[in-house]
Amino acid sequence: MASITELKCALRETLEARGVLGQLKARIRAEVFSALDDQSEPRPPLSHENLLINELIREYLEFNKYHYTASVLTAESGQPEVPLDRQFVANELNVVEDPSARTLPLLYGLLSHFLQSGETKDKLFLRNAAPLTSQKPNTKDC
Protein backbone atom coordinates (compact mmCIF):
# COMPACT_ATOMS: atom_id res chain seq x y z
CA MET A 1 0.00 0.00 0.00
CA ALA A 2 1.35 3.44 -0.95
CA SER A 3 2.04 5.96 1.76
CA ILE A 4 0.44 9.43 1.86
CA THR A 5 3.77 10.95 0.80
CA GLU A 6 3.98 8.66 -2.22
CA LEU A 7 0.40 9.48 -3.19
CA LYS A 8 1.11 13.23 -2.88
CA CYS A 9 4.20 12.88 -5.08
CA ALA A 10 2.32 10.84 -7.68
CA LEU A 11 -0.54 13.33 -7.73
CA ARG A 12 1.85 16.29 -8.04
CA GLU A 13 3.77 14.61 -10.89
CA THR A 14 0.53 13.79 -12.73
CA LEU A 15 -0.80 17.33 -12.38
CA GLU A 16 2.55 18.78 -13.51
CA ALA A 17 2.73 16.44 -16.50
CA ARG A 18 -0.76 17.50 -17.60
CA GLY A 19 0.08 21.19 -17.13
CA VAL A 20 -2.72 21.55 -14.61
CA LEU A 21 -0.61 22.35 -11.55
CA GLY A 22 0.82 25.54 -13.03
CA GLN A 23 -2.64 26.63 -14.18
CA LEU A 24 -4.03 26.08 -10.69
CA LYS A 25 -1.20 28.06 -9.13
CA ALA A 26 -1.75 30.91 -11.60
CA ARG A 27 -5.49 30.89 -10.93
CA ILE A 28 -4.87 31.01 -7.16
CA ARG A 29 -2.44 33.93 -7.61
CA ALA A 30 -4.95 35.80 -9.75
CA GLU A 31 -7.69 35.19 -7.17
CA VAL A 32 -5.40 36.39 -4.35
CA PHE A 33 -4.62 39.56 -6.32
CA SER A 34 -8.33 40.04 -6.91
CA ALA A 35 -9.15 39.53 -3.22
CA LEU A 36 -6.45 41.97 -2.14
CA ASP A 37 -7.45 44.53 -4.74
CA ASP A 38 -9.32 47.47 -3.22
CA GLN A 39 -12.66 47.25 -5.04
CA SER A 40 -13.89 50.50 -3.47
CA GLU A 41 -11.30 52.41 -5.50
CA PRO A 42 -12.10 51.93 -9.19
CA ARG A 43 -9.26 51.22 -11.57
CA PRO A 44 -8.45 53.97 -14.00
CA PRO A 45 -9.62 53.17 -17.51
CA LEU A 46 -7.15 51.19 -19.57
CA SER A 47 -5.56 53.73 -21.90
CA HIS A 48 -4.95 52.91 -25.55
CA GLU A 49 -1.19 53.02 -24.91
CA ASN A 50 -1.41 50.63 -21.95
CA LEU A 51 -3.66 48.30 -23.93
CA LEU A 52 -0.99 48.05 -26.65
CA ILE A 53 1.91 47.75 -24.19
CA ASN A 54 0.13 45.02 -22.24
CA GLU A 55 -0.61 43.18 -25.48
CA LEU A 56 3.05 43.31 -26.54
CA ILE A 57 4.04 41.95 -23.15
CA ARG A 58 1.33 39.26 -23.19
CA GLU A 59 2.41 38.08 -26.66
CA TYR A 60 6.03 37.89 -25.44
CA LEU A 61 5.01 35.99 -22.28
CA GLU A 62 2.86 33.50 -24.18
CA PHE A 63 5.58 32.93 -26.80
CA ASN A 64 8.07 32.10 -24.05
CA LYS A 65 5.51 29.85 -22.36
CA TYR A 66 5.14 32.13 -19.31
CA HIS A 67 1.41 31.35 -19.37
CA TYR A 68 0.93 31.81 -15.64
CA THR A 69 2.58 35.23 -15.63
CA ALA A 70 0.44 36.21 -18.62
CA SER A 71 -2.72 35.13 -16.80
CA VAL A 72 -1.82 37.27 -13.78
CA LEU A 73 -1.03 40.23 -16.07
CA THR A 74 -4.43 39.87 -17.71
CA ALA A 75 -6.27 39.58 -14.41
CA GLU A 76 -4.45 42.43 -12.70
CA SER A 77 -4.35 44.91 -15.59
CA GLY A 78 -7.92 44.56 -16.83
CA GLN A 79 -6.62 43.57 -20.26
CA PRO A 80 -9.29 41.79 -22.33
CA GLU A 81 -9.15 38.01 -21.92
CA VAL A 82 -9.05 37.51 -25.70
CA PRO A 83 -5.74 38.70 -27.15
CA LEU A 84 -5.84 41.58 -29.60
CA ASP A 85 -5.31 40.70 -33.25
CA ARG A 86 -1.60 40.88 -34.05
CA GLN A 87 -2.22 42.75 -37.31
CA PHE A 88 -4.28 45.33 -35.41
CA VAL A 89 -1.43 45.89 -32.93
CA ALA A 90 1.13 46.12 -35.76
CA ASN A 91 -1.05 48.67 -37.58
CA GLU A 92 -1.48 50.74 -34.41
CA LEU A 93 2.31 50.83 -34.01
CA ASN A 94 2.84 51.64 -37.70
CA VAL A 95 4.80 48.42 -38.14
CA VAL A 96 5.03 46.55 -41.42
CA GLU A 97 6.20 42.98 -41.00
CA ASP A 98 8.14 40.69 -43.24
CA PRO A 99 6.23 37.37 -43.33
CA SER A 100 9.19 35.60 -41.67
CA ALA A 101 9.03 38.03 -38.74
CA ARG A 102 5.53 36.84 -37.82
CA THR A 103 6.92 33.76 -36.12
CA LEU A 104 8.25 35.91 -33.27
CA PRO A 105 6.47 38.36 -30.98
CA LEU A 106 6.26 41.96 -32.16
CA LEU A 107 8.36 43.01 -29.18
CA TYR A 108 11.32 41.06 -30.57
CA GLY A 109 11.00 42.83 -33.91
CA LEU A 110 10.79 46.25 -32.25
CA LEU A 111 13.83 45.52 -30.11
CA SER A 112 15.76 44.22 -33.09
CA HIS A 113 14.91 47.37 -35.04
CA PHE A 114 16.19 49.65 -32.30
CA LEU A 115 19.30 47.58 -31.65
CA GLN A 116 20.18 47.66 -35.36
CA SER A 117 19.49 51.37 -35.69
CA GLY A 118 21.76 51.90 -32.67
CA GLU A 119 24.64 50.52 -34.72
CA THR A 120 24.38 53.56 -37.00
CA LYS A 121 24.51 55.85 -33.95
CA ASP A 122 21.06 57.25 -34.71
CA LYS A 123 19.25 58.02 -31.50
CA LEU A 124 15.52 58.11 -31.04
CA PHE A 125 14.35 61.26 -29.29
CA LEU A 126 11.40 60.47 -27.02
CA ARG A 127 8.92 63.19 -26.14
CA ASN A 128 5.91 62.99 -23.88
CA ALA A 129 6.25 59.25 -23.39
CA ALA A 130 3.63 59.34 -20.61
CA PRO A 131 0.26 57.77 -21.40
CA LEU A 132 -2.27 60.22 -22.73
CA THR A 133 -4.72 59.12 -20.07
CA SER A 134 -3.20 60.38 -16.86
CA GLN A 135 -2.98 57.74 -14.19
CA LYS A 136 -2.02 58.39 -10.61
CA PRO A 137 0.06 55.68 -8.95
CA ASN A 138 -1.74 53.92 -6.13
CA THR A 139 0.07 55.01 -2.97
CA LYS A 140 -2.61 53.89 -0.50
CA ASP A 141 -1.27 51.37 1.99
CA CYS A 142 -3.20 48.95 4.19
Phi, psi of 129 (to 5 degrees): -80, -5
Look at residue 135 in the predicted model and tell me its pLDDT.
46
Q: What is the per-residue pLDDT for 103? A: 92
For residue 63, name the pLDDT band (cuts at 50, 70, 90): very high
108-126 per-position pLDDT tens digit: 999 988 888 766 666 766 6
The CATH fold assigned to 48-120 is Mitochondrial Import Receptor Subunit Tom20; Chain A (1.20.960)
Asked if the model's pLDDT at residue 107 lies above 90, the reply is: yes
Domain boundaries defined on the chain: 1-37, 48-120
The pLDDT of residue 82: 93
